[in-house]
Amino acid sequence: MKSFVFLGFLLMALMPLMGVAQGVEMADALRQSGKIYVVVSVIAVIFIGLAIYLFSLDKKISKIEKESKKNQ
């Protein structure tokens, strides 16, 4: 488990370097045309949707766990 956490931190630390290696032409073009806001908005909506889904899933699982403990 510790190796996965370390690998995750290492990957997050190297993310900025990966962006530099790929080039910035696409980001500049999106910024100039104003489409970068569409991309950021779509990503934000996806993350918000995932967060809401995970929160509701957690509530449902907690409810099932409580019912399971009562029946035992």
| DSSP letter for each residue of the chain | -HHHHHHHHHHHHHHHHHHHHH-SHHHHHHHHHTTHHHHHHHHHHHHHHHHHHHHHHHHHHHHHHHHHHHH-
Per-residue confidence at 16, pLDDT binned at 50, 70, 90? low
**Statement to judge: residues 27 and 47 lie in one domain:** no
**Statement to judge: residues 20 and 48 lie in one domain:** no
**Statement to judge: residues 24 and 55 lie in one domain:** no
Please state, in angstroms and as integers, the Cα–Cα distance from residue 8 to each residue in 15, 21, 51, following that order. 11, 20, 20
**Statement to judge: residues 41 and 70 lie in one domain:** yes
How many separate domains does the chain show?
Answer: 2
**Statement to judge: residues 57 and 25 lie in one domain:** no
Domain containing 51 equals 34-72
Statement: residue 55 has pLDDT above 70: yes
**Statement to judge: residues 26 and 1 lie in one domain:** yes
Q: In terms of pTM, does the model score above 0.85?
A: no
